[in-house]
Amino acid sequence: MAADWRIPFNRPAMAGRELDYVRRAIEDGHISGGGSFTSRCQDLLRDVLGTEAVILTTSGTHALEMSAILLGIKPGDEVIMPSFTFVSTANAFALRGARIVFSDIRMDTLNMDEDQLPSLVTERTRAVVPVHYGGVGCEMDSISSICGPLGIPVVEDNAHGLFATYRGRKLGTMGRMAALSFHETKNITCGEGGALVVNDPSLVSAAEIVRDKGTDRSRFLRGEVDRYTWVSLGSSYQPSDMLAAYLLAQLEDRQKIWERRSFLWNRYMDGLAPLAAEHGIRLPAVPAHCSHSSHVFYLLMPDRPSRDGLMDGLRNRGILAVFHYQPLHLSVMARGEGHCPNTISAASRILRLPIYPGLTESEQDTVMEGVRETIEGGLR
């Protein structure tokens, strides 16, 4: 619970108009999905990203599940993704029966190591799913140049990097589709929510059908058919308009949220760089051709004991710092398939510091002081 910590790991951003908009959704009498707030969020995201269509979903996980259904993933198909990611990236495709093939990550950005892709692709590869870790873009040019000629669709997992760019292009607009997350921990949130970015025009109406429980209800609502019926596989992926109302307030204030996060991220970087250099600690790396979303600020400690020691030192001061992800290729479900030493190394050494718009500068100073004192006090 956030309240139990002097400085919690996360406090969801409140832009200001959330409650007004939620009240308006309720007063308008349209609280199921597909109301005016849903449309406004979708249109705003489509226009800002400059893409074909954006479909709000009940979570980032569900956006990934929709992409797997839309690609017709079936048992025997292979889907390549990094081992260093959240469970949902894999689970969404495993649900369709796919075998997940894990790539390792680059040690600089902790993103999928694009150089491994050629050796992982087989004639059964049906999708590649790069994850823009911390909102820093994967090497999309290399990934596209490998997948494009082979006709392998790319689905970007952009749960972290909304509005960030790679070589001037918005993350989430370079693959055939992309998943966004609006979970409480994300930069822009409505508690639980997500979106499927559909960059391929030929998939837009199919995506509506998958979202609408496998029916052509959207065509019916537009007057294109006189009744709607079951036409393909699908599920119930549309969020309530009350959640869309909350989300719209956040999206409208995206610049303010972005600037505050960037400010805090840069302040961590400036404040901790000398200490990191002195103690062999690695801070986040952002290639010059990427603008990032300041979603994560991490320290890569020299080893697991020093990571655990720093985490304990901060917790003793009432500061919650956390680590993630457990290497997916070593999970019970993946049964150890894959060779991902960088993933194992990063997962055992990473520690994420609190970063959110409501973090005050004095709280951030307390976090940095805690890091400094714990490290200089000797970790073991």
Ligand X SMILES: Cc1ncc(COP(=O)(O)O)c(C=O)c1O
Taking CB under 6 A as the criterion, the residue among 86, 102, 163, 258 binding ligand X is 86
The DSSP string of 141-168 is HHHHHHHHHHT--BEEE-SS-TT-EETT
Coil, strand or helix at 32: coil
Minimum gap (Å) between residue 255 Cβ and ligand X: 22
Contact 234, 209 (CB under 8 A): yes
Contact status: 60 vs ligand X (CB under 6 A) = yes
Enclosing H/E stretch for 376: helix 361-376
Minimum gap (Å) between residue 354 Cβ and ligand X: 16
Query: Among 11-19, 84-92, 347-355, 358-366, which window interacts with ligand X (CB under 6 A)?
Result: 84-92
Tokens read off for 357: 């718009």
How many residues belong to the site for ligand X (CB under 6 A)? 13
Taking CB under 6 A as the criterion, the residue among 10, 38, 51, 61 binding ligand X is 61
Tokens read off for 92: 């969404």
The DSSP string of 70-104 is HTT--TT-EEEEESSS-HHHHHHHHTTTPEEEEE-
Contact status: 130 vs ligand X (CB under 6 A) = no
On the CB side of 194, CA atoms within 13 Å amount to: 25
Q: What's the Cα-to-Cα distance from 64 to each of 163, 179, 188, 242, 321, rounded to whole Å?
A: 19, 6, 18, 22, 28
At a CB cut-off of 8 Å and minimum separation 6, what does 128 contact? Answer: 79, 80, 81, 117, 121, 143, 146, 147, 152, 153, 154, 155
Contact status: 293 vs ligand X (CB under 6 A) = no
DSSP letter at 215 equals B
Contact status: 238 vs ligand X (CB under 6 A) = no
Query: Among 57-65, 105-113, 299-307, 343-351, which window interacts with ligand X (CB under 6 A)?
Result: 57-65
Minimum gap (Å) between residue 34 Cβ and ligand X: 19
Minimum gap (Å) between residue 196 Cβ and ligand X: 12
At a CB cut-off of 8 Å and minimum separation 6, what does 3 contact? Answer: none
Query: Among 85-93, 134-142, 228-236, 255-263, which window interacts with ligand X (CB under 6 A)?
Result: 85-93
For residues 181 and 374, which CB has a smaller minimum distance to ligand X in the complex?
181
The pairing of beta strand 78-82 with beta strand 99-103: parallel
CA–CA gap between residue 200 and residue 210 (Å, rounded) = 15
Tokens read off for 255: 């610049």
Minimum gap (Å) between residue 223 Cβ and ligand X: 33
DSSP letter at 180 equals E
For residues 86 and 215, which CB has a smaller minimum distance to ligand X in the complex?
86
Query: Among 59-67, 95-103, 105-113, 235-243, which window interacts with ligand X (CB under 6 A)?
Result: 59-67
Contact status: 59 vs ligand X (CB under 6 A) = yes
Taking CB under 6 A as the criterion, the residue among 80, 131, 190, 367 binding ligand X is 131
Contact status: 157 vs ligand X (CB under 6 A) = yes
Nearest CA to 143 among 130, 134, 133?
130
Contact status: 88 vs ligand X (CB under 6 A) = yes
For residues 60 and 137, which CB has a smaller minimum distance to ligand X in the complex?
60
* Binding track over 163-202 against ligand X, x by CB under 6 A: ------------------x-x----------x--------
Taking CB under 6 A as the criterion, the residue among 67, 83, 89, 173 binding ligand X is 89
Residue nearest ligand X (C-beta atom): 60
Minimum gap (Å) between residue 194 Cβ and ligand X: 5
Minimum gap (Å) between residue 73 Cβ and ligand X: 17
Instruction: List residues near ligand X by CB under 6 A.
Output: 59-61, 85-86, 88-89, 131, 157, 159, 181, 183, 194
